[in-house]
Amino acid sequence: MEPVDTDVTGPDEHDGDAPFAGQAGGVPDGAPTLGDLLLAVEELWPESLAEGWDEVGLVAGHPAAPVTKVMFAVDPTLEVIEEAVDWGAELLITHHPLLLKGVTSVAATTPKGRAVHRLIESGTALLTVHTNGDSAVGGVSDVLADALGLQDVAPLTVAANGLPEEGIGRVGDLEDAMTLGDFAARVFGILPSVAGGVRVSGDKDGLVRRIAVCGGAGDSLFNEVRASNADVYVTADLRHHPASEAREAALNGRPYLVDVSHFASEWLWLPAAAAALGNVLADQGHDVEIQVSATNSDPWDFILTPG
């Protein structure tokens, strides 16, 4: 990301202390600007770590606008945006992009168009931290690995433009071996409650110790998982054919598979990300209130199971 110029002096931008659109009053004394926040975010989750296909960074917002409240969420859904607006957040940071594919219109006749209009009309900026948040130290998979108690953690794939410890996915070891059934119960216990629960493929009584994880959809990493000699692979959105093929290619049944909610696997990162951003801003002398969204944006509401 190029450095953001937050010195706005031209009359065409804004006049003196006039508030930005969507704000009830003038610029709060000592409040950082959105530009300041962008620099802090870049320090934690550099855009250079994003995958080539990804779209990260600022989606809506004026770099010179003041920011006193920041909300973190997984998805920029309309419900999440309303929650941020109601709380008074001037910045919403989401893991998933709002506009991943090119568009020719943001008319308010579509959900994404309504989202863009609501953000701009309320004066709420939107910033996406996606695969750069996956890859960075302390990112999505690091938080998942830490929550599971993994040690000696390393990336499954090393970032092309990052440090050796940065990249997509993580692999590490449990302090002590445990059964797959007990490990799956540990996974279930650390995740937020969602309808889909946790699906497991493998011998419930098989002992496991080396664990590979990838927050979000990770079925493109099976070669790396096998190369890591992992006993188990924890990820989300495992489709029928990749999962079936992984079972066919397994050596002595391994890696076993633990399939979790995409939303749940990435939600774990939000409190850690909020704390990390708060620490950076505090070190810079900024006082910003940061909150994690309470909205469950997992798309499923209930599940039926046999028995």
- For the annotated binding site, the residues are 95-96, 134, 262, 266
Q: What is the Cα–Cα distance from 83 to 140, expressed in whole angstroms?
A: 23
Beta strand 256-260 with 232-236 is parallel
Cross-strand partners of 207: 179
Q: State the number of CA atoms in the 13 A half-sphere of 250 facing the CB.
A: 20
C-beta separation of 165 from 141 below 8 A: no
C-beta separation of 191 from 205 below 8 A: no
Q: Which residues contact 281 (CB under 8 A, 6 or more apart)?
A: 32, 36, 37, 40, 287, 288
Dihedral sign, Cα of residue 243, residue 244, residue 250, residue 252: positive
Residue with tokens 């960074």: 57
Tell me, rounded to whole angstroms, the distance of Cα 165 from its chain centroid.
18
User: Which DSSP letter does residue 47 get?
Assistant: G
Annotated binding site for a divalent metal cation, which residues? 95-96, 134, 262, 266
Query: Token pair of 235, please?
Result: 């990820």
Q: For 190-258, what is the HEC assignment?
A: HCCCCCCCCEEECCCCCEEEEEEEEEEECCCCHHHHHHCCCCEEEEECCCHHHHHHHHHHCECCECEEE
